[in-house]
Amino acid sequence: MNASAISLPHGHDGHSADHHGGHGGGHGDGHGHHGPVLQYQPGLPLTRGKLIMWLFLSTEIMFFAALLGSYVVLRFGAPVWPKPHHVHLSEPIGAFNTFVLICSSVTIVLALEAARVNRAGLAKLWMLLTLLLGILFLGVKGYEYQAKFSHGIYPQKPRSQIYEKPDLYYGSAVRARLGEPAIIDKLKELDDTPADQLTAEQVAARGRLQQIRKMVTSPEQQAFDLAVVADQVMPLPTAGPGGSHDGGHGGDGGQGGHGGHTSGLNDIFPWLRLPAVIPGGNMWASTYFLLTGFHAVHVLVGLIVFTILLLYKLDSKQAGKIENAGLYWHFVDLVWIFLFPLLYLF
């Protein structure tokens, strides 16, 4: 095998120079080469592809360090930052995704090992598994994004429905929404619906909705009333461990001791889409979607690379390509290792 025939020195430049000088060009002639042969000495003892991948990764380190650093700095400089369950983050789902990425890191390493010993079929199997795990990660991420969108938390347009505090601006936004012609019609329809056509939850929610409609328009409105309105529209769950609030429709965590209701009016009547209050929620949404979005784009690029690699016969000739793809993928895993605790557990 030609490849293994090139024996490299053991990292001593002087040593190699001696050998080279000793052998000189005479051997080159003996092999039948014509004229002087241009010689190339790599600056670093690694292949070009791997060198470029590592250079790229070192720029990626700085890219994600800037993102993560800004997140940490923004977060700890903020007067208030939402708790994970305030913004409908589910820690078990995040932990599951961490597990998925770790598994995919192992499978790509195993693909590389299989390719190195020339077991192309096995390498392809591991590579396929890596691809599937990556797709699973993105699927779970999409499900999580959906849970945010359904609560009116968006990265950008349509404008986030999140207000920072239950103040007069919030009250006028709720009034404006309740005054929209389409919503007036829907409210009338809801009011006229006989109670036996609604679930018990909907009947109770309808009663609360009628009261907050009075509250936001009342001339005797108290400052505290707006907090009550905000709490009714989308409560800040106070669930501790064990509470699952991802869908917003799940059971109560039990430990929270939330006063009476766990899902807000926006959850019970999805068409309502009233503005909600999450203190610090807008900055949280910006950083969350930016960090996880860039990470998801990196995952997507990795999946494209794996798909292309799957077109090859993954024998020892492709080991270098698999190694480079693997280096990239481990880096993506690395970023998630920091993202998971910073976003879900802090």
Partner 1 sequence: MSDSDSHAIHSHGPITRPGDLPTSEDLDHAGHGSGHDGHDNHAGHGGIGKYLLVFVALCGLTTMSFLTYSPYWPWRNEPHVGWAFMMAVSCTKALLVVLFFMHVFWEANWKYVLTIPAAMMAIFLALMLVPDIGMRNRMVSQERALHMARASDVRLMEQAAESQVLAEPAH
Phi and psi (nearest 5°) for 92?
-60, -35
CA triple 230-210-89, angle to 5 deg:
30
Does 251 interact with partner 1 (rule: CB under 8 A)? no
Which 8-state DSSP code applies to residue 254? S
Q: Which stretch binds partner 1 (CB under 8 A): 3-11, 129-137, 152-160, 172-180?
A: 3-11
CB of 238 to partner 1, least distance (A): 7
Spatial separation of the C-alpha atoms in residues 90 and 244, rounded to whole Å: 7
Near partner 1 in 278-297, by CB under 8 A: 279-280
Does 160 interact with partner 1 (rule: CB under 8 A)? no
Near partner 1 in 56-75, by CB under 8 A: 57-59, 61-62, 65-66, 68-70, 72-74
Binder of partner 1 out of 35, 36, 39, 197 (CB under 8 A): 39
CB of 194 to partner 1, least distance (A): 14
Near partner 1 in 217-246, by CB under 8 A: 224-225, 227-228, 230-232, 235-236, 238, 240-242
Does 313 interact with partner 1 (rule: CB under 8 A)? no
Q: In a 10 Å sphere around its CB, with 0-12 CB exposed, 13-18 middle and 19+ buried, how is residue 104 labelled? A: buried
Binder of partner 1 out of 158, 194, 219, 259 (CB under 8 A): 259
Phi and psi (nearest 5°) for 29?
-65, -40
Q: Between residues 164 and 183, which has the closer beta carbon with respect to partner 1?
A: 164
Q: Give the type of residue at 207.
A: G
Binder of partner 1 out of 54, 143, 149, 271 (CB under 8 A): 54
CB of 18 to partner 1, least distance (A): 9
Question: Beta-carbon neighbour count of residue 188 at 10 Å?
Answer: 10
Residues in the interface with partner 1 (CB under 8 A) total 115
Q: Between residues 103 and 183, which has the closer beta carbon with respect to partner 1?
A: 103
Spatial separation of the C-alpha atoms in residues 216 and 223, rounded to whole Å: 10
Residues 6+ apart with CB under 8 A from 103: 133
Q: In a 10 Å sphere around its CB, with 0-12 CB exposed, 13-18 middle and 19+ buried, how is residue 249 labelled? A: exposed
Q: Between residues 109 and 138, which has the closer beta carbon with respect to partner 1?
A: 109
